[in-house]
Structure 1
């Protein structure tokens, strides 16, 4: 049943064509298929991270800090790699989802983690649908409400496809590449001070710890932490023999996200360094328009839409992976995924956007998900190697994980403080 631990046998029927199906030992993916699965998984994680909030954060901090923001990006990438290396390796070697691992350690932990992930994923999906509407509006002038509905319909079609898993893997790769290429073009056109940006990547004039921790939470917090790893094992790539491929994919996912953030930073920095004062409520859109005129605004619409629909897909898919087990019928998983997208779209149509207070609460809960979920990962890595099939977990990796875990506790403490303020306010 939903939220349950999965320790039974797997149904390999249609395993290579449906989202969430598991490929058994008798139907392991071929090498070229394995590469395709890992590519899709790493881009699912990366594009899930690159949502409307990602774009807003990057624009805001670039305007605030200028070239010094490059150091925050660099340091957050290092920490994010340490998180994802541990998460992907434990989930990948064990072949168990994060919720299943939590329930194996202590009954109910996985359920609690799942509740947090699903709530945060749903609320942010309302914002993602709204972002899709704004993106289409910037591209075509179509009303943003209809743009949001169109975005949701296209996302739903992915999960209604007979080959949903293959479609999901290919679509997130295409969307990710499109975002990077367009942002790279605008970064060149805006003429940023690249020398200063490179210097401040390692020798910043100012350091803002709060900005760094915000970037970490926004890149590997909430459902994003598990998006790629869950897709990977659901598609049949798992076990100690695949450790090297799993590790490389986890690192690449963060690098893709980092490249996108750095290019977006450069695109906006070029405008800011040129003396333009960005003052609108949509700093990134304003910067793109200053850099490339009306076509820049259209291109920003493409980026915002691609970021939004990929996040809609990633949030829905990952949330449902916590609501079901791998024995759940494919049509049930896909129906739940479609239902989540439809429900978030109905909320968007009713309110016009994600409710502000719920977004704040969901973002705060994402700050709690990281330390809770990462605790499960580290306990398995250090103390429960039986769940890893006896795999000898590298001490350097678990040690790096512990250091990052301390940082997640700091993030979590801040999240609790925000929840307390909301509760009392």
Structure 2
């Protein structure tokens, strides 16, 4: 009888463990995808597709491989070590974690300016309310989500449900205005001028990296860590990458389909105009929903990420984590209102984060050589090679394209 009871208990424990892992994988995957494919990516994709037309297929295609290399490197190292990004950096070089954590937190400020701006634009489309009031409303909603009991669980649930909702909405618009697929696929691998596409590639990758950091930090917080969980970590990474890639492709097809049909997008809000031309007033309303959904998810996820990057460095922040998240939202919402440049802020956030990424990834790759960080875990050589190429390539290209960005979007 005792043996039978023990067997039942073991089976129950295994079932609970398996169920928990599956929920954790789905939650982290959707949180990463929704935070990475936020208003920055939506706006950046529309702006650049309006400029580069069919050749924008190449940056979207290239970003898939870059995303794979970044996420698989970052998540494996953070997940196996059970340490947050800033704590890994501190072990590599004492004090470096403060530099990395504060640098990423500042990048998160730039991102949240863009996220709040995106939510304000979405509300403007839905209700006609001025973007100033939209930004303030977004700040209030974001704060309320953190005030709720068990805020982190609510954040995970919100990412899952709103993520599915967003995919359905974008897919509907994409199907109403599909571009010529043969020519689009050709342009994805053989664009007319690869050199001119470096800036859009860097910007849309930079516009998504906040989600990659958020997912990595979340792995540690929910306990999906250690070498024994490497299978679950890889599955979560693959799921997050897949969801993000599906949304990116659908969004590009929705925007380019309008342009391929002869449409000219309004430069003041090209993404909204693409949805309106592609699916009429319903499409315009859908865009407002998509942008607000993406934005509010990113506001909450990005605020969580910013605080998680510094909370282990400053104990007072860890003790008051929820209050700090709320304070972060309040500050960035107020800053957005004062600056009142939503499109430029969304574009600029992508470039800033493309400058920071190579520094962060270099520290993560260095950690694979440290047994006191990853133990006896052996990081795949092919991932290390891809990671090094991204560190060098994005580092050189990002700094080299600052002038190009200023000339194109801020005047020479």
Short-chain TM bin: 0.7 to 0.9
Query: 2: distance between equivalents of 1:170 and 1:349?
Result: 29
Deviation, 1:72, is 2.0
Query: 2: distance between equivalents of 1:417 and 1:67?
Result: 24
CA contact (8 A) 2:35 2:298 kept: yes
Judged with a 3 Å threshold, the aligned counterparts in structure 2 of structure 1 residues 280 and 361 are, in CA distance, closer, same or farther, namely closer
Correspondence for 1:116? 103
Deviation per residue, 1:113-164 (Å, 9 max, x gap): 1111111212331232122122112112233333222222222222222221
How many aligned residue pairs are there?
392
Q: Tell me which of 376, 391, 398 is aligned to 1:390.
A: 376
Q: Tell me which of 241, 248, 257 is aligned to 1:254.
A: 241
SS of residue in 2 equivalent to 1:262: helix
Correspondence for 1:347? 335
Deviation, 1:404, is 2.0
Q: Tell me which of 59, 71, 82 is aligned to 1:95.
A: 82
Judged with a 3 Å threshold, the aligned counterparts in structure 2 of structure 1 residues 296 and 364 are, in CA distance, closer, same or farther, namely closer
Deviation, 1:88, is 0.2
Query: 2: distance between equivalents of 1:419 and 1:283?
Result: 18
Q: TM-score, normalised by structure 1?
A: 0.84
Deviation, 1:362, is 5.7
1:233 aligns with 2:220: yes
Correspondence for 2:284? 297
Query: 2: distance between equivalents of 1:52 and 1:169?
Result: 18
SS of residue in 1 equivalent to 2:208: helix
Tell which deviates more after alignment, 33-42 or 334-343: 33-42
Correspondence for 2:251? 264
Judged with a 3 Å threshold, the aligned counterparts in structure 2 of structure 1 residues 349 and 307 are, in CA distance, closer, same or farther, namely same
Deviation per residue, 1:365-417 (Å, 9 max, x gap): 42332111111111011x21331122122222212222222213224533777
Q: Tell me which of 205, 213, 223 is aligned to 1:216.
A: 205
Query: 1: distance between equivalents of 2:185 and 2:405?
Result: 38
Judged with a 3 Å threshold, the aligned counterparts in structure 2 of structure 1 residues 355 and 139 are, in CA distance, closer, same or farther, namely closer
Query: 2: distance between equivalents of 1:354 and 1:58?
Result: 15
Correspondence for 1:400? 386
Tell which deviates more after alignment, 300-309 or 341-350: 341-350
Unaligned runs of 5+ residues in structure 1 are 1-25
Correspondence for 1:42? 29
Correspondence for 1:147? 134
Query: 2: distance between equivalents of 1:165 and 1:29?
Result: 20
Query: 2: distance between equivalents of 1:41 and 1:202?
Result: 31
SS of residue in 2 equivalent to 1:323: coil
Judged with a 3 Å threshold, the aligned counterparts in structure 2 of structure 1 residues 68 and 52 are, in CA distance, closer, same or farther, namely same
- 1:16-415 correspondence to structure 2 within 5 Å: 30-207=17-194, 208-220=197-209, 223-325=210-312, 332-353=320-341, 364-381=351-368, 383-414=369-400
- Over aligned residue pairs, what C-alpha RMSD do you find? 2.8
Which has more helix, going by share of residues? 2
Deviation, 1:325, is 1.9
Unaligned runs of 5+ residues in structure 2 are 1-12
Q: TM-score, normalised by structure 2?
A: 0.87
Query: 1: distance between equivalents of 2:139 and 2:226?
Result: 35
Deviation per residue, 1:71-115 (Å, 9 max, x gap): 221112112101110000000000001100000111111111111
CA contact (8 A) 2:40 2:349 kept: no
Query: 2: distance between equivalents of 1:415 and 1:203?
Result: 22
